[in-house]
Amino acid sequence: MKKITIIGSGFAGLTAVRTIRKKDKEVEIMLISPKAELVYMPSLIWVPSGAASKKDIVIPLDNFFKRMNVVHIVSEVTGLENKGRSVVTPIGTYENDALIIASGGRFIKKLPGIECAITPCEGLSAAEAIRDRVKAMDGGDIAIGFSGNPKEPSAMRGGPMFEFLFGLDTQLRAEGRRNKFNLTFFTPAPKPGARLGEKAVDGLLSEMKKRNIATHLGHKMKQFTDSKVVTEGGEFAADLILFMPGMTGNTWFDNTDLARSEGGMLKANKFCEVENTDKVFVVGDSGSFPGPEWMPKQAHMADLQAAAAAQNVLDVLDGKAASHTFKIELMCIVDSNNKGMYVSRTLKGGLILPSCRLMHLAKKVFGWWYLHQYK
């Protein structure tokens, strides 16, 4: 029996499992990840206000793996051997007939003093740390920002930072404490959210102005301290810093012969095949894919890539050529705890719907629906 190995139990890895099982009930699936759980990152934005907690975000996968007849190996991955046919872990080496790499990306943490900042998308503990820090503050300066990987334009995750920014503003107003805090949004980019489109940039900046949020844009960052953010264009006070660095590839990629992009990701073609490999695919944040600079690193894009890769894996195992491609699409709701702005973009154009209560509710409902399939 043919064996497909999947590395990672995030959005992309689990979508690959579901897609394979829809097409083939018999093929053996082995999935390697440190824990049998899915962390639903989009809901982290509601943790600081108490609108979401661990039960809403961390979903156990034991039942899902049993339902899908998946062998789960609880381990990190340390490298590959035998041209990808062998996955090396601290607890053993596992063979495969085809491999899907869905192990996510790694935040670049080279900025001096970055230990003074909280990186929200590192998981639940980071979001809880934000919650606890804000709760303990009587007032002060909060700085929220992001940067990218200059060698990999798509390897950034800025959207959630707008949500933490607007969400904290909404939360502090609801608590009657907003007048005690100064909020500053910062990024080296002169136009924050440019990948969402020009109209989105205007909308985001207009929303910041309306909420009395200061901006510090277009200046390369030099350093963080426990009391300020320092850039080439000046510095400003910060008692709490929330910062999302750009992303690069996993450290275990160094222990492989896989082709890498200049930014450290695995180089893939439009079929999600890693360049110059046989039956090795990559999906989600781990990969560098052909497409426009605005192509996002987000769960929706990872799902689209995983569905295409899973179908291609089954085809190549059946002796056919890979032929399934993925739609390039940015789709998100920029939430602010009580309202949300819908943004979408494709190669043909984009759509923006003004912030409203309905979009906030839609994001909540979508999260419930999405997670239900893994329970």
Mean pLDDT of 77-95: 98
Name the domain boundary from 297, 317, 337. 317
pLDDT at 195 over 90: no
Using CA atoms, how far apart are residues 24 and 215, in angstroms rounded to an integer? 52
Full domain range(s) for residue 85: 3-105+249-317
Residues 231 and 313 in one domain: no
Residues 114 and 215 in one domain: yes
Residues 113 and 208 in one domain: yes
Q: Does a structural domain hold residue 327? A: no
Q: Does a structural domain hold residue 329? A: no
Tokens of 307: 């569905």
CA atoms within 13 A on the CB side of 294: 19
**Coil, strand or helix at 106:** strand
The per-residue pLDDT for 222 is: 97
| Number of folded domains that form the chain | 2
Residues 136 and 236 in one domain: yes
217: closest CA among 202, 233, 240, 199? 233
The per-residue pLDDT for 154 is: 81
CA atoms within 13 A on the CB side of 8: 23
DSSP-derived secondary structure letter, 116? G
User: Are the C-beta atoms of 349 and 199 separated by less than 8 Å?
Assistant: no
Using CA atoms, how far apart are residues 136 and 152, in angstroms rounded to an integer? 37
Residues 224 and 116 in one domain: yes
Q: What is the CATH number of the domain that holds 142?
A: 3.50.50.60
Mean pLDDT of 155-166: 92
Residues 131 and 196 in one domain: yes
Residues 99 and 10 in one domain: yes
Over the stretch 109-160, which tens digit does the pLDDT of each residue have?
999 999 999 999 999 999 999 999 999 999 999 999 999 998 988 888 889 9
Residues 157 and 224 in one domain: yes
The pLDDT-based confidence of 3 (bands split at 50, 70, 90) is very high
Residues 141 and 84 in one domain: no
The per-residue pLDDT for 206 is: 94
Mean pLDDT of 94-100: 98
192: closest CA among 163, 168, 235? 163
Mean pLDDT of 33-43: 97
Of 16-20, 181-185, 253-257, 291-295, least confident by mean pLDDT is 291-295
Q: Does a structural domain hold residue 346? A: no
Over the stretch 261-278, which tens digit does the pLDDT of each residue have?
999 999 999 999 999 999
Residues 238 and 255 in one domain: no
Name the domain boundary from 186, 211, 246. 246
Residues 90 and 179 in one domain: no
Over the stretch 215-230, which tens digit does the pLDDT of each residue have?
999 999 999 999 999 9
Query: Facing residues of 37 across strands?
Result: 60
Using CA atoms, how far apart are residues 63 and 78, in angstroms rounded to an integer? 27
pLDDT at 188 over 90: yes
Using CA atoms, how far apart are residues 334 and 354, in angstroms rounded to an integer? 10
Nearest 10 degrees: CA dihedral of 206, 209, 215, 217? Answer: 20
Q: Does a structural domain hold residue 361? A: no
Whole-number average pLDDT of the chain: 96
The pLDDT-based confidence of 6 (bands split at 50, 70, 90) is very high
Q: Does a structural domain hold residue 35? A: yes
The per-residue pLDDT for 328 is: 96
Mean pLDDT of 350-375: 95
Mean pLDDT of 234-249: 97
Share of the chain above pLDDT 90, in %: 91
Report the predicted TM-score, pTM, of the whole model to 2 decimal places: 0.95
- Neighbouring CB atoms inside 10 A of 249's CB total 28
Residues 121 and 234 in one domain: yes
The pLDDT-based confidence of 198 (bands split at 50, 70, 90) is confident
